Chains A and B, each alone.
Chain A
Amino acid sequence: MNTSLTGWSGWLLYAFAAAMMIFILTPILLVMVISFSDGYFVSFPPAGFTLDWYSKVLGNPEFIDALLFSTLLSLGTTLLSLLLGIPAAFALVRGNLPFADLCKGLLLSPLIFPVLITGLALLQLFTGYGWGNARLNLLLAHTVVTSPYVVRTVLTSLELVNPTLEEAARTLGATRWATFHQVILPQIAPGVVSGAIFCFMVSFDNYPVSMWLADSENTPVPVVLYRQIGTVFDPSVAAMSTLIILLATIVVVLLEKLVGLRRAMAA
């Protein structure tokens, strides 16, 4: 493949790509560097080295509670999105739906709709019905936003599955469930896994929906962090951010190991 990137124009492209990598990585690495700074205010260059901000953050019950809450919320959102999304993707590919394209467009449309407005519309819905359970409201709202990712990744995997295998399984006497479980699921596993990881990531990182629906007892991590950025000016905010970056790194490594980044993003 590396036929066209030779000579000075090739080096120019590589240099440009390197500059873009610096642009992308600098804000993230800087946050990590500042989190070790031994000064009362965030500043560059960092003043000395300390781990105090980490002990402050890990001893902050607000942050720990948010971390726990966000993890549970994202897991719940992922589960609900898979439960709703996998069957829907299956129906789109195998269902001979009369308006398959329209249905697909409808199910994927939350992806292009401004997420902030999705959150506001749901705030209006929930207050209108007097639904005061912030946990349930957040779970439902996050699922609205994340389920399209499952539909899209599973759809892409399913389109690659040969339907004659399912027919063979059915002809040989397998039940519908056995066919799904033993024939289809193993083949669409990469799509399911990347869909699940996208759901977890999008839910865990979400701010514009959660900002409308969180209450004082059920606050996801990004909402706590946003509040801290406006009120706290010491490097503890950077330490908090670094912990979130570490979590994100784990998720990315998981995605790369299980599916491969290229393949996951192609969906």
Chain B
Amino acid sequence: MAEISAPLPRSRMAKRWQSPALLIVPLLAFQLFFFFAPAIRLMLFSLMTQTPQGDIGAPWTFSHYLHFFSVALYSDILWNTLRISLITALIAAVLAYPVAAVLVRGNALISRILTLVIIAPLAVSVVVRAYGWQLILNNGSTGLLNYLLLHLGLVDRPNALMFTEWAVVIGSLHIFFPMMVLPLASALGKIDPALPFAARTLGAPPWQVFFRITLPLTLPGLAAGMTLVFSLAAGSYVIPALTGGPRAQMLGNLVEQQIVAVYDWPFGATIATILVVIVIAVNTLSMKLLGGSRLPGAGK
């Protein structure tokens, strides 16, 4: 590899250069240059100062972080982000268990259809799906949900459904649900069906089978799924922009606003860094809890 400096005999040298290990170099170099270096550079911007002319550089400062945490509007958006992502991950986990159970143990045909319905929407752009939720949650009487509620006589005037935190949670659930179900179904599939069967035979009620057998054995899948859903939801932009509106903004929207509208690069970089730190912290924590060395994105 790269650290070879002492001359090697020709044949050994040739062998080294033919080693399949070197095939990693192009992609690794590509990602170092186009992913890691720019990401680190962006985070360094959060410690720099921008002149009124737009030049960015020394003096180094921590003031953008102090500014972020001292303005209530910004900390509110941080809490919005954490709350929306956590609620989304929790609801996704609760909804995913029964769905994963049908996927793994259900009738073959139903399981096949369910797989298709869960996976196929992944191919549809988030922008299209957010638009679909706009049509459902529309605050007027012409939104699907308000129309149904009015005509079923459940309400007497249209409710404000859009541009709320719940609209963002529902939209995020729709986008990220597969990331919860798939790892969970894979964990559930590894449980020997004899275990819950034996427990039932010995008289354990269903809830006890769930809490004492299913839940502990699917914990890795559950943690992987929740970590993934939380991370992806925390970093989302399209869903809060199109269904949350100004009242349910998230950190991603704030970044965009600071860069595009205010043109404050160091502050935009500060918010971006806070978002990245949250995502990395959650992933590291989940890895530590699971005791594995794998990245959550790195496998089943």
Contacts and interface: CB of A to CB of B under 8 A. Distances in A.
Nearest to A254: B123
Given A17-B114, A44-B144, A265-B119, A26 B136 contact: yes
A125 B24 contact: no
Interface string B243-279: 0000000001001100100000100100010011001
B276 to A, nearest CB: 6
Nearest to A39: B142
Nearest to B102: A17
B279 A1 contact: no
A14 B99 CA distance: 8
Interface stretch (A50-58, A61-69, A99-107): A99-107
Contact of B123 (A111, A118, A241, A251): A251
Interface string A234-267: 0001100100110011011000100001100110
A45 interface: yes
Contact of A266 (B36, B186, B275): B186
B132 interface: yes
B237 interface: yes
Given A44-B142, A114-B276, A225 B127 contact: yes
Interface in B78-131: 95, 98-99, 101-102, 104-108, 110, 113-131
A108 B193 CA distance: 33
A215 B36 CA distance: 24
B219 interface: no
B130 to A, nearest CB: 8
Contacts of B57: none
Interface in A196-225: 201, 204-205, 207-208, 211, 221-222, 225
A234 to B, nearest CB: 13
A120 B259 contact: yes
Contact of B20 (A28, A91, A117): A91
Contact of A17 (B99, B122, B142): B99
A95 B26 CA distance: 14
A152 B297 CA distance: 9
B160 interface: no
Chain A binding surface SS class: helix
A9 interface: yes
Contacts of B300: 266
A161 interface: no
Contacts of A78: none
Contact of A112 (B23, B105, B206, B279): B279
A182 interface: no
A129 B96 CA distance: 46
A107 B28 contact: yes
B163 interface: no
A117 B134 CA distance: 25
B296 interface: yes
Nearest to B272: A117
A20 B95 contact: yes
Contact of A148 (B41, B114, B297): B297
A84 B28 CA distance: 9
A28 B129 contact: yes
Interface residues of B, number: 97
Chain B binding surface SS class: helix
A84 B136 contact: no
A178 interface: no
Contact of B105 (A4, A109, A116): A4
Given A44-B143, A208-B237, A248-B120, A27 B24 contact: no
Given A84-B30, A144-B34, A244 B128 contact: yes
B295 A109 contact: yes
A221 B186 CA distance: 34
B120 to A, nearest CB: 5
Contact of B125 (A9, A85, A244): A244
Contacts of B106: 2, 5, 13-14, 17
Contacts of A17: 98-99, 102, 106, 110, 114
A213 to B, nearest CB: 12
Contacts of B202: none
Nearest to B34: A144
A49 interface: no
A223 B142 CA distance: 26
A113 B118 contact: no
B174 A23 contact: yes
A91 B128 contact: no
Contacts of A124: 38, 41-42, 45, 265
18 contacts: A14-B102, A27-B174, A28-B129, A30-B136, A44-B135, A44-B143, A84-B30, A85-B27, A87-B26, A107-B27, A108-B297, A108-B298, A124-B41, A141-B34, A147-B31, A225-B125, A252-B116, A261-B116
